[in-house]
Chains A and B, each alone.
Chain A
Amino acid sequence: MSTPAAARPLPMPDETSGPYWSAAADHILALARCARCGSFALPPDQVCPHCRSTDPDYAFEPVSGRGTVRSWTVVRQSGLPGFAADLPFVLVDVELAEQTELRMIGRLLDGPGALAGSDPALRLGARVRVAFEDVHPGVGVPAFTLAVTEPSGVTEPSGGVR
């Protein structure tokens, strides 16, 4: 087969997402925050999903990138040919630390090995942190890695709004 391998789809930043993707290129997770009620919205909708303002005037603010796993799936076939070389891979459904039910889906870069063994590291409630895949020059795509269990006494960094 001489067909060139398909590439992963690249995000097309638009007026709702430009700052998100420019921050992601610098490996910073910056989420849209409603100027009216202060809630994060992912994705940022025309109408704030929390206070329903039609003028949410979102500002993109860096978040901790920390979260917990609510579910996962191991993708073994993808409709997107650009992911063929990555199969199988794990997608995690993550609730971010900053806000209840602020959920985001991305690849778990630890891979299916995180499910190995009798006491797998990937389980409901497992802690993860954001990571970025540089899929193209100037394009970073958010993903996750399992957070290393930290020794007791180390506190979570502040900065997020719960």
Chain B
Amino acid sequence: MSGRRFAARNKVAVVGYAHSAVQRHAARPLGAVTLETARAAIADAGLTPADVDGIVTSALFPTAGSHAVQDGVSSVPATWLAERLSSGARHVAGFHGIGQIPGMVGMAVNAVASGAAQTVLVYRALHNPPGKYHANSMERAAGPAQWTAPQGFFGPLAMIGLPYNEYLQRYNADRAAMASVVVEARKNGSRIPWSYWHKRPLTAAEYLAAPMISDPVCRYDCDIPVDGVAAFVLTSAEHAADLPHRPVYVSGYASGLPARRRLPLHWPLDDIMDVGTETARRLWEASGVGPAEVDLPQLYDGFSPFVYFWLEALGFCPRGEAHRFVQDGRIDSDRPDGLPVLSGGGALGNGRMHGIPQMLECYLQLAGRAGDRQRAGATVGVACHSSPHYGGAVVYTAEPS
């Protein structure tokens, strides 16, 4: 199976959005916040709920903790929202893999391109439960967990600690280099009104003084769990031309799938990079652009090492070089010559919104709606989510050729 041009390239566009406040714990249930955010996104697109005939999300509640999953409280499936938004939805679907944002965007694009729906609302609702996010009181480890939990390997912190340390050791890199990434994310997030970190940038000294959690991962290498919702409206390019905002077209997308069976949450560096390189190759083939054409590579940063992995997988620098590449202002979005990899603040600068900050920054910049941080001439963006070997990325463009 060779990669190929995405047949729906630039035929579907993002035409509006809305974003809730990002809070440690919202005062109201997640379902209510989701419904309001959905209505706001539809209004932003110049439409009404009756115009929306597709609803797509990825509802995963991504915790290793022993929290109950309750629709409308900790998770908002597409069916839950469809029953409350309007009676007109004829295409209601959910993405179930990892890399939820590119996964659900791909499903929404395909629904519009195929005619299964004309206008689709895509959204992501994320919840921070009371108590410790990943605390799990399991006394018996059954099924896949029996191979890891009794041994002390549990949850995403050790998951990312292993490949990150593998990277640092193999390439003789210093964990202090990551300060450039985290400080950049927090600088940009501090300027976003709804961000959890609004007006709270971080210094490199603060980063380096933060306690280690799973060496070499420290507290500020991890995004903070939040309650937050974002929603977007996607419709056909033809319909988009009649709507108030400048459309941002989806050129293509790709997601990865690990080539080897591993223990649960075992993500070795070579798996990430070998499969991730293939993910990137398919992304460029599908979308018809390459790294040289990308003005706005919004890299996933839910754990900071993913920024290195994506930089290398997408070909912005050679393998093993990202820890040097990010130095000396080369990823500073305030510099005209900087590569703006986290200009939207990312998950580190907004809160645990998964790949939403990356998608939103591509939309806002390419629609000319980025306000004070608008970059002149930004035309092509890439929004990444999760790991290059398990997640994926979407290419957006302001100018379909």
Query: Hey, which bits of chain A sit against chain B, CB under 8 A?
Result: 6-14, 17, 21, 41-43, 45, 49, 70-83, 86, 89, 91, 93, 101, 103-107, 123-124, 135, 139, 141-143
Contact = CB atoms under 8 A, between A and B. Distances in A.
B141 A86 contact: no
Given A49-B260, A86-B152, A89-B152, 17 more contacts: A8-B152, A9-B149, A14-B143, A14-B146, A43-B147, A45-B261, A73-B216, A76-B213, A79-B64, A79-B135, A80-B136, A80-B138, A82-B139, A103-B266, A104-B263, A105-B151, A105-B153
A49 to B, nearest CB: 4
Given A79-B154, A124-B169, A93 B138 contact: no
Contact of B141 (A9, A71, A83, A142): A9
Interface of B: 64-65, 132, 134-155, 157-158, 161-163, 165-166, 169-170, 211-217, 260-263, 266, 268-269
Contacts of A135: 150
B146 A141 contact: no
B165 A73 contact: yes
**Which 4 pairs of residues, A with B, have the shortest CB-CB distance?**
A73-B161, A49-B261, A74-B215, A71-B166
Contacts of A74: 161, 212, 214-215
27 contacts: A6-B137, A6-B139, A7-B139, A9-B149, A10-B140, A10-B141, A11-B141, A11-B146, A12-B142, A12-B143, A14-B142, A14-B146, A17-B146, A43-B261, A45-B261, A71-B163, A75-B152, A77-B214, A79-B65, A79-B132, A79-B134, A83-B152, A91-B151, A93-B266, A104-B263, A124-B169, A141-B151
Contacts, number: 138
Nearest to A87: B152
B178 to A, nearest CB: 15
B377 to A, nearest CB: 42
The prevalent SS among residues of B at the interface is mixed
B132 to A, nearest CB: 7
A9 B212 contact: no
Contacts of B166: 70-71, 93, 124
B277 to A, nearest CB: 17
Given A10-B139, A79-B135, A142-B151, A105 B263 contact: yes
A75 B214 contact: yes
Contacts of A70: 166, 268
Nearest to B135: A79
A73 B142 contact: no
Nearest to A79: B134
A11 B266 CA distance: 18
B165 A143 contact: no
B214 A73 contact: yes
B261 A77 contact: no
A73 B215 contact: yes
Nearest to B262: A103
A156 to B, nearest CB: 24
Contacts of B146: 11-14, 17, 21
Given A14-B142, A79-B64, A80-B138, A91 B213 contact: no
A73 B158 contact: yes
A42 B263 contact: yes
Contacts of A7: 139
Contact of A91 (B134, B158, B260): B158
Given A45-B261, A81-B137, A10 B214 contact: no
B215 A106 contact: no
A70 B143 CA distance: 25
B162 A91 contact: yes
Contacts of B162: 71-73, 91, 93, 105
A124 to B, nearest CB: 5
B214 A101 contact: no
Contacts of A9: 138-141, 145, 149-150
A79 B144 CA distance: 17
A138 B225 CA distance: 39
